[in-house]
Amino acid sequence: MTAAAAQADDDLAPIEACTISRDIQKFDLLIEDMEKELGERWGDLGFEDGLVFMSGPEGAELSFVAIAVDAEDEPDFDRIGEIIKAAKRAGTKVILIAHDLGPIALHQLLRLGADDFVPYPLPDGALHEAIERQKKAAAATLLMNTPTQPADGGNHDGSVLAVHGLAGGVGATTLAVNLAWELANVAPDREEPLRVCLLDFDFQFGSVATYLDLPRREAVFELLNDTTAMDSEALRQAMMVFQDKLDVLTAPGESLPLDFLTAGDIQRLIDQARYDYDYVIVDMPTTLVQWTETVLNSAHVYFALLELDMRSAQNTLRFIRTLKAEDLPHEQVRYALNRAPGFTDLSGKGRIKRMAESLDIDIELLLPDGGKQVLQTGDHGLPLAETAKKNPLRREVVKLAGSIFEITAAEMAA
């Protein structure tokens, strides 16, 4: 029975799932288990028809697809990968049934987005358990579309401000930490204090914890490992609180691959943080990853930090080209120059102008060199406001926080 034939016959029950394989007869145990689980409510397609079907509107109506592959299918992995991607775009769960595949081949298919894996021959009850896991995951995803109401009332609809260093050592974490702290203190007389959180998304070498002298907790890894189960309480428990004003999600204690989290994981984190906080500051890794697009699309302002040197200029050019090639909203990026020349440095101002013109960007934020005090406060685990209030960099960050607050306050009043 094919999915197309099943749809053509009005007397048959609607198709709930589908198998996709080169030859379903080679997976007779899968046929038995699908009939046991779904009766006549499933169909079978080959790889070519499967790609067409999953790319169409009918694919979104399925609860899951079971893609059965063996060692002979390795030359078709590109097409199988396209089927998996099409299923993910349609929001359909993918269960991979693999027979005699090596670990490298299996890893390749799982990386393309398969939700679950069951070895073939199928162990007793294995397909049933995989289907139940996907039902629970789908229910959890649906629940996460409406973030949980936190104890304090929630629904802050917070502003997301991301900071991305375009080269190592340009001061992105320094800006993220100090901007978050200044926003937490920008309206001390406000009847209801602003809720501000800082998320360290550099899961390998994030240093927000160091800059604020906070421990890295095991709860962070537990949160990141299963974001589908996250709610306001889970997010808050994973965070550390700095001086009773700033909630911080530090990087995990152990370095994790940057692709450990998917774009969906990152979106859930941002959505929940926006619901719980007025301002969400995200410290991004220097590396561009799959979920950079997710943060870029979610951010109200995306600060790209650079310096007045050749490495920053070259990296900025690569950054812009990548955004344009992927048709991402590059116009949303706000470029900031750290360690900018002083007011009286006329030659430095000329260099800034030439750099901006050569890159075809507007450098909208000039951050002065804070000198050794910036390094010292970082080593002491404190923001500049706590140890060097009159530092020129701190003064500029205060202005930035004030302007952000004024803009968001005006938007809320409107």
47-90 per-position pLDDT tens digit? 989 888 888 888 888 889 999 999 898 888 888 888 988 888 88
CATH superfamily of 159-413: P-loop containing nucleotide triphosphate hydrolases (3.40.50.300)
CA distance linking residue 307 with residue 367, whole number of Å: 10
Domain 3-144: which CATH class? Answer: alpha beta
Contact present, 30 and 122 (Cβ < 8 Å) = yes
Is the pLDDT at 148 greater than 50, yes or no?
Answer: no
pLDDT at 390 over 80: yes
Two tokens, residue 168: 């190592």
Domain borders along the chain are 3-144, 159-413
pLDDT of 153 reads 44
Of the candidates 295, 306, 301, 309, the residue with the CA atom closest to the CA atom of residue 265: 295
* Contact (CB, 8 A) for 240 and 206: no
Please check whether the two domains, 3-144 and 159-413, share a CATH topology.
Answer: yes
pLDDT attached to residue 20: 94
**What is the Cα–Cα distance from 4 to 6, expressed in whole angstroms?**
5
pTM as predicted:
0.65
What is residue 4's predicted lDDT score, i.e. its pLDDT?
Answer: 46
Sign of CA dihedral 372, 390, 406, 341: negative
Contacts of 239 (CB under 8 A, 6+ apart): 197, 247, 248, 249
Residue 105 Ramachandran class (φ > 0 left, ψ -120 to 50 alpha, else beta): alpha
392-409 pLDDT, tens per residue? 999 999 999 999 999 888
Q: Which of 317, 362, 363 is nearest to 338 (CA)?
A: 363
CA dist 345 and 352 (Å) reads: 11
The average pLDDT across 349-366 equals: 92
pLDDT at 155: 56
3-state secondary structure of 262: coil
For residue 304, give the 3-state DSSP assignment: strand
